[in-house]
Structure 1
Amino acid sequence: MATFSVQSEPTDAASWTELARTVEAAGFDALFTADHPGDCASPFVALAAAAAVTSTLGLGSYVSNAAVREPILLAADVATLDVVSGGRARLGIGAGHTPAEWRAVGRERPGVAGRVRRCVAVAETVRALLAGDEVTVDTEELSAYAARLKEPRPVQDRVPLTVGTANSTLLRWAGAHADVVGLTGFGRTLPDGHQHEVRWRADQIEAQLAHVAAGAAGR
């Protein structure tokens, strides 16, 4: 069965909550918000407000930037959203493509391989934390020591995972582990550091889908 979702962000309280009600009433599966600190609204604050005026709509970030979101903080945000929404949170994650966002938290953006490794490490760590596990990780990409999400505990036994990417390695990983794979179609980052060349020709989309299918083999 096909489902459809909407991505938006708030500009004021009244229009945002009205949008959430409208999206739910129209039968959409979920409402997503972007996560670019400093350039858009805080996703989890906005999604909690949407949760207060809806009852069935899925709610998540599309997607949280693994570059600047530490796993324990992201897990706490997602778990809290799951609690206040009655079990409707979605975990959305991506590798982080905007150099300014890395610099804003005092890090230099690594190469593609380093960003992909961190994204996978953050995704795996957040999922483990949401499952109630204690996690220690000590690698070049990620450090966390005896991290555990004691409270709040999410309502869902397993919060659905969405991965947004155009990277072949991450597409294959997402095919193996994610519930939803978002094809960003991003190509080379343009000089402004935010926009990109796009990979939306039919053959490019087919190539991205082939990576997802390869990762999903046997699921």
Structure 2
Amino acid sequence: MRLGLHISNFTWPEGPARLAPVLADIASAADEAGFERISVMDHLWQIQAIGPAEWDMLEAYTTLGFLAAHTKRAKLLTLVTGVVYREPGLLAKAVTTLDVLSGGRAILGLGAAWNEEESRGLGLLFPPTKERFERLEEALKICRQMFHGDETPFEGTHYRLGRPLNAPRPLSRPHPPILIGGGGEKKTLRLVAQYADACNLFGGPQLQHKLDVLKQHCEDVGRDYDEIQKTVVVNFDLGEKGENVGDIIATLRRLAAMGFEVGHGSLRNAWDTKQFEIFANEIVPAAEAL
């Protein structure tokens, strides 16, 4: 099993003036510790589960470009981009740019979006749920088409692209992996079965059920369930003195037994990069052995 560092909080003790060098230190430390990927949220305000909306938040793709310059190995992605925040042609171009400039390390994380307050506040498109899922499916088709260099005009219900030119092509082959976030059983997991290379689920007692639902969708659409990478959100809180290391490894062992290949998690006080030594010496080797 491999680990992903999810950076979801940028309100750090030294403030915005030191945000860039601290973020660079975190990314470099995670990369060297053996984290297989680094992700950020695609939010423009902080979300309530973490803190007030007024807390510092960075735009996702600008941040991923910055992270690309301060890492060598880790894959880079959003968990996940809200489909209505960017036109699909522009999104495909942004992910392609990230892939080329990072040497083939981009992953496209995509979802139907949920933060209506943020969207309304900044004047972003936020249609009803049904339309957001329609847009998600069209965006998946467009991104796959552009990643493969197909310039055939796209005519959808919500998006129309006269010439979806994408030059240069991504370096990743056959294309930057596409990850869909969310566990909705009727729509989201079916889209995973139809279009995605990976899914991301939240931890909890429902996990096995979600995997069973995904497996059924794969059977329905004629997709090989095993070719979809399963990723999951994990609690990486080490505790005050590293006392939670054993619990983290036990959780990863349980998730690996269910078929999950990557655990994404945030670190409390991520600016304290000494934490990454514990991951490098204890958790990453244990996870890789699973």
**TM-score range relative to shorter protein:** 0.7 to 0.9
Letter matched to residue 72 of structure 2? S
Any residues of structure 2 matched to 1:145-156 within 5 Å, and which?
145-156=161-172
CA change 1:60–1:153 in 2 (3 A) is same
TM superposition score normalised by structure 1 = 0.82
TM superposition score normalised by structure 2 = 0.63
* Distance (whole Å) between structure 1 residues aligned to residue 166 and residue 194 of structure 2: 28
In the other structure, the counterpart of 2:210 is 208
CA contact (8 A) 2:77 2:106 kept: yes
* Distance (whole Å) between structure 2 residues aligned to residue 106 and residue 55 of structure 1: 34
CA contact (8 A) 1:68 1:105 kept: no
In the other structure, the counterpart of 1:16 is 23
Moved over 4 A (4+): none
1:73 is displaced (CA, Å) by 0.9
Larger Rg: 2
* Distance (whole Å) between structure 2 residues aligned to residue 46 and residue 95 of structure 1: 21
CA change 1:137–1:37 in 2 (3 A) is farther
Higher relative contact order (CA 8 A, sep 6+): 2
Question: Could you report, residue by residue, the CA deviation over 1:47-98 in whole angstroms, capped at 9, with x for unpaired residues?
Answer: 1111112111100111011122211110111011011101100000000111
CA contact (8 A) 1:129 1:147 kept: no
* Distance (whole Å) between structure 2 residues aligned to residue 210 and residue 138 of structure 1: 31
1:152 is displaced (CA, Å) by 3.1
Any residues of structure 2 matched to 1:1-219 within 5 Å, and which?
2-9=1-8, 10=10, 12-39=19-46, 40-103=57-120, 104-105=122-123, 107-111=125-129, 113-134=130-151, 135-139=153-157, 142-157=158-173, 158-168=175-185, 169-184=187-202, 200=204, 202=205, 204-217=206-219, 218-219=223-224
CA contact (8 A) 1:165 1:184 kept: yes
- Identity among equivalent positions (%) equals 29
Q: What are the ranges of 5 or more consecutive residues in structure 1 without an aligned counterpart?
A: 186-199
* Distance (whole Å) between structure 1 residues aligned to residue 74 and residue 150 of structure 2: 28
1:120 is displaced (CA, Å) by 1.5
1:167 is displaced (CA, Å) by 1.2
Between structures 1 and 2, the one with greater strand share:
1
1:37 is displaced (CA, Å) by 3.2
1:206 is displaced (CA, Å) by 2.6
CA contact (8 A) 1:163 1:181 kept: yes
Question: Could you report, residue by residue, the CA deviation over 1:16-46 in whole angstroms, capped at 9, with x for unpaired residues?
Answer: 1111111111111100011023553111111
Q: What are the ranges of 5 or more consecutive residues in structure 2 without an aligned counterpart?
A: 12-18, 47-56, 225-290
